[in-house]
Amino acid sequence: MGQSFKLEKFIPYRLMVAAETVSMGFSVTYKEQFGMSRPEWRVLASLAQLQHATAKDIAAHSSMHKTKVSRAVFELEKRKWLLRKLDETDRRMEHLSLTKPGVAVHAKLVVHATAYQAKLLAVLGVNTSDQLLTMLNKLEGLHADHW
Amino acid sequence: MGQSFKLEKFIPYRLMVAAETVSMGFSVTYKEQFGMSRPEWRVLASLAQLQHATAKDIAAHSSMHKTKVSRAVFELEKRKWLLRKLDETDRRMEHLSLTKPGVAVHAKLVVHATAYQAKLLAVLGVNTSDQLLTMLNKLEGLHADHW
DNA sequence: CTGCTATAGTTACGGCTGTAACCATCAATT
DNA sequence: AATTGATGGTTACAGCCGTAACTATAGCAG
C-alpha cells in the first residue's frame, strides 16, 4: 500500500500555500502602484497605526526581523515617506514617524487593503472569518516560549 | 483620530505570520535531522505520495515553481534519495522516483510530521481543524483563474 | 572613572528565490 | 525534411533574506 501521509492534509503546508496565495493577491497593489515590497508595506502600516515608534517597536508589531525593518525603513526614508529623529536622552534609538506624503500613500493603500479584506471575508463567510482569526491566534502562540 | 486599519486584523498578514510560525516548528526537524530545505521536503513528500512523477507533476502537486523543484530534485539526487529515468518516447521529461534510502528518510520524517500535525490539531481542537482546511480551500481558490 | 554587559540599529556575507532566457525535444504544418 | 510553436527542464542574473558580526551608546558595578 502507498503511504497514508498526504501533503494536502498537512497543516503547515496548507497554511503556507494559502498565505502565499492571499498575500500575492494584495501585493500586486503595493508593488505595482507604489513600487513597495512587503516589508515596506508592513512598516508603513505599523507606523501609521502606532503613529510614532522605534524600529524595535515596529519589528515587534509587524513580526519582522530587525534587519528587514532596518532595510525597509531605509527605503521609506529615501522616498521621504518616513522621518527619523534621534532620541535626545538615548541616542541609540530613533523615533520614526510618517511624513505627510507617507500618510497619503498609506491612506490609499488602506482603501485597497480594506476592499481586499472585504473580498476575503465574503469568500470565507463573514461569520466564519472571526473563527479563522481565533485559530490563527492559537497557532501563533504555539512556540511562544522560544521567542 | 488614529487610523482604523489594524495590521493585526488584516487576513493576509495574519495568515502569513501563522504560516511562518507553524512552518518553522516543523522545519527544525527536516533541517537539523536531515539537512533538508523546505522545497526538498516537499518534493520528497510529493514523490512518496505520487510514487512516480515528473518534475512538472511535483510542481503542481506541491505548489512550487518549477525552478524550485528543479533545484530540490538536484539536491535529492545528489544525496541518492531520488532517481531520474528519461522517458523513452519523450526525452524531454524524466520520471522521478525515490530510492530505498529516500523512502526510509521519508518514513522517518512522516513520523515527525504526523506527531506535529497531532499537536496542531490538539491546539486547534480536533473538530475545528477541518473547518480550517475548508477555509484554506476557499482562500486558495481565490485567484484560481490567474493560473 | 574603568570595565563589563546589554541594547538599538546597521551591514557584510552567503544562501535562496523568481524572472527571464535558454536548451533540447517534440508535434504539427507545409 | 524544414519551419514554427509549444513544452519539460535547467541556468544566469539580480534581488531578498537571515545569521552573525559590527558600531555606537547606555547603564551598572566596582
Which set of grid coordinates corresponds to residue B65? 515553481
Query: Which chain A residues touch B138 with a CB distance below 8 Å?
Result: 123-124
**Which is it for strands A82-86 and B94-98: parallel, antiparallel or unpaired?**
unpaired
B125 CA to C20 C1' in angstroms comes to 46
Per the CB < 8 Å rule, is A135 touching B116?
no
Which set of grid coordinates corresponds to residue A122? 465574503
Nucleotide nearest to B56 (CA to C1'): D8
pLDDT in tens, B119-130: 999 999 988 889
Per the CB < 8 Å rule, is A143 touching B23?
no
Which segments within B44-113 are labelled E, that is strand? 82-86, 94-98
**CB under 8 Å to B35, separation ≥6 — which residues?**
none
Three-point CA angle A145, B10, B127, nearest 5°: 65
DSSP, collapsed to helix, strand or coil, labels residue A143 as coil
Predicted confidence pLDDT, tens digits, chain B (147 residues): 557 999 999 999 999 999 999 999 999 999 999 999 999 999 999 999 999 999 999 999 999 999 999 999 999 999 999 999 999 999 999 999 999 999 999 999 999 999 999 999 999 998 888 999 999 999 998 876 433
A64 CA to C13 C1' in angstroms comes to 20
What secondary structure letter does DSSP report for A7?
Answer: G
pLDDT in tens, B60-77: 999 999 999 999 999 999
Question: pTM of the full predicted structure?
Answer: 0.94
Which set of grid coordinates corresponds to residue A35? 513600487
Hey, is the C-beta of B131 within 8 angstroms of any chain A C-beta? yes
